Every structure is written in C-alpha cells, then in structure tokens.
C-alpha cells in the first residue's frame, strides 16, 4: 500500500486538503508544544540538560531516555496548549470524513487540556486507550531532600500512557449508516469475537526499532500497528499522522496494509523518516496488529533483524 510524506507545517498542509478525504488520524503531537521548538531541540540533539528536556542519569546500568518534563509549563503555556489543540482540531475537522476517529498520544498531566481543546473544536470525546507499560517517569522523592523525605514520592510512578480518542460527528443517523456511506464511525475488532480493549500492555520500544530511529518519542510497532489497524473499521481508507516525527505511525499503517500520509515540520526528522519508514515497516512481517499477546522475539529471527537494519527500500514520497 502506498504512502506519502510531506515536509510542511500541518496547519498549512491541512488548509490545502479536500474535504472528507482522511478517514483516521493516529499521532503523537508535541503536546507540550515547546519541547520541539528549535531552542529545545538544539539542547536535546547536543545532549544538554535544562529546559523542558530532562537528561536522566543512568539507573541500574541502564541509560534512561530523555524525557520531556511538563511540570515546568506555566499556566500561560498550558492555556496555549489548549488553544492550539482547539485550533488544530478546527483545521482537521473539514478534512476528515464524518465519523472518523482521531487517536492522540497524551500525558496524564496534560490530557484534560487536549481533550478540552478538541471538544471545543467540535469533536466527540471518546475516552482513551491506555498503553500499559513500566517507565522511569515519576516516583521520585522531593528534589534536594531525598533523605529527609525518604518515604515520599512527588508523583506516582508512571504505569500507563493515554492515547485519547476523538470522533468527528457522524454524517448519518446511525453508525451502521455512516459505515455504509463513509466507512467510518466505529473501530475494527481484533477478531469477530474480540473487540479492541481500552487497555493494551505494550512495553518499551524494542532495541531493534531504536536502532533504526533515535527519535526521543519513538513508540513501539506493537502498539502502533494495533491502533492503526483498529482506526479503519472496514480496513479501508487513509490514515494521517500530521506530526510525523520518526515515521513510526506511517510505518505501522504500511505493515497493516493501509494507505497513509505523514506531515513533518522539522527538516531533520523529515529527512530521517524517509529512511526509517520502510525499515520499520519491514520488521515483523507476520504481525499486522490483530492480536495483543504478540512479542517481537517470537516473530523475528536474527537474520531477519540484520536484513531489516541494512536493506534499503523504495519510498513513495510527496
């Protein structure tokens, strides 16, 4: 199945798209907004701490990934996030087919701002699918007083990540009628007797995927393929990722067999995605997001890993 990627600001790109032409959105936006600004990206790429990116120490012999810390956001920045999500939702709305779902990766501390903004744009808030995984985020003692307050944590240790669901209002009277006309309005089941659950255990991104892309917010193909598959209820249509980043969402859509479009404003990430998408999509050829209990180690063999990391593939790019 073909895909296109565009080096553009997604707001500008959306304004030029025909109405009702996209059938689902799956994306991990810069929901703190400032973490992918030029100033903060320069800090991250140069390996410097400070600002919104926290460069954690090595823990138990493991190097922790950089983490955006949203506790430093001011009230003004939070209000800006809510307004930006509203503006983004308003730009997205006419491009989506009636009943199309939008799945947005979030952060527990900012989830309410994203949901409020999208609701103000006219979207139905449809809850969230929780990614269950253990991370190093949270659970820390008060900074500078770790010994004094040894039995105190400032926040709970994170064990989940919300992927918020929104839906453009139906264009027909019922979901069934909307499915017949637009192919949207519901979520694809894992199997006839297995609906998509609202909690999915999906661990840290495997090393084989991180070896392809070092994007700080790279999500695992296990999760993305399950979500991508679910968002097109009849298995037909186009999935959009307006914040392309590593290209992992477009890669997941390709692996599932869906057409996809990605839009990325950052030139470095866009250039990297051109290379990374086909390599990520080529991993785990037998996994198309139709089961939850899949493990990478059970699917891919060492020779296949080597091939996936070294082989080049043609790219259809816009």
Report pLDDT digits (tens) over 132-154.
988 777 888 998 999 999 999 99
Report pLDDT digits (tens) over 77-92.
Answer: 889 999 999 999 999 9
CA atoms within 13 A on the CB side of 16: 8
133: three-class secondary structure by DSSP: coil
Number of other residues whose CB lies within 10 A of the CB of residue 14:
21
Higher pLDDT, residue 139 or 93 = 93
Provide the percentage of residues in the chain whose pLDDT is more than 90.
69
Three-point CA angle 56, 132, 253, nearest 5°: 95
Contact criterion met (CB below 8 Å) for 233 and 185: yes
Would you call 235 helix, strand, or coil by DSSP? coil
Split at pLDDT 50, 70, 90, the class of 155 is confident
Rounded Cα distance between 171 and 179, Å, is 10
The closest alpha carbon to 29, from 101, 112, 154, 114, belongs to 114
Give Cα 311 to chain centroid, integer Å.
Answer: 25
DSSP 94: G
pLDDT at 60: 40
CA distance 280 to 285: 10
Query: pLDDT confidence of 31, banded at 50, 70, 90?
Result: low
Contact between 233 and 212 under an 8 Å Cβ cutoff? The reply is no
Q: Taking a C-beta distance cutoff of 8 angstroms, is the pair 294, 200 a contact?
A: no
Full-model pTM: 0.83
Helix, strand, coil percentages (3-state) for the chain, rounded to 5, are 35, 20, 45
Segment 274-288, tens digit of pLDDT? 999 999 999 999 999
CA distances (Å), origin 48, targets 37, 42, 216, 277, 278: 15, 9, 14, 28, 31
Torsion angles phi and psi, residue 56, rounded to 5: -65, 155
CATH number at 3-53+76-135+159-310: 3.40.50.150
Q: Which residue ranges make up each domain of the chain?
A: 3-53+76-135+159-310
**Strand ranges (DSSP E) for the chain?**
3-7, 22-27, 53-54, 58-59, 62-63, 67-68, 96-105, 124-132, 160-167, 199-201, 238-241, 259-264
């Amino acid at each position: 199945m073909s895909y296109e990627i565009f080096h553009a600001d997604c707001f500008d790109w959306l304004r030029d798209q025909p109405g009702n032409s996209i059938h689902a959105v799956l994306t991990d936006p810069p929901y703190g907004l400032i973490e992918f600004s030029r100033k903060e990206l320069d800090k991250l790429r140069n390996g410097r701490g400070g600002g919104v990116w926290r460069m954690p120490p090595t823990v138990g012999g493991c190097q922790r990934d950089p983490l955006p810390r949203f506790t430093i956001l001011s009230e003004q920045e939070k209000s800006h996030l809510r307004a930006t999500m509203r503006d983004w939702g308003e730009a997205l709305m006419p491009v989506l087919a009636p009943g199309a779902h939008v799945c947005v990766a979030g952060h527990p501390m900012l989830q309410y701002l994203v949901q409020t903004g999208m609701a103000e744009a006219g979207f139905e808030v449809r809850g969230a699918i929780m990614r269950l995984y253990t991370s190093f985020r949270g659970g820390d003692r008060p900074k500078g007083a770790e010994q004094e307050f040894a039995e105190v944590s400032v926040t709970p240790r994170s064990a989940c990540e919300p992927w918020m669901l929104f839906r453009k209002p139906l264009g027909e009277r019922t979901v069934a009628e909307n499915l017949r006309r637009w192919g949207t309005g519901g979520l694809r089941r894992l199997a006839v007797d297995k609906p998509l659950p609202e909690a999915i255990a999906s661990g840290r991104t495997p090393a084989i995927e991180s070896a392809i892309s070092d994007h700080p917010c790279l999500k695992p193909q296990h999760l993305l393929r399950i979500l991508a598959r679910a968002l097109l209820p009849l298995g037909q249509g186009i999935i959009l990722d307006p914040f392309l980043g590593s290209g992992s969402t477009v890669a997941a859509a390709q692996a599932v067999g869906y057409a996809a479009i990605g839009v990325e404003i950052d030139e470095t990430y866009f250039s990297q995605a051109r290379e990374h998408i086909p390599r990520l999509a080529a991993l785990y050829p037998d996994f198309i997001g139709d089961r939850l209990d899949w493990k990478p180690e059970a699917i891919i063999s060492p020779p296949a890993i080597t091939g996936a990391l070294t082989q080049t593939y043609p790219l259809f790019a816009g």
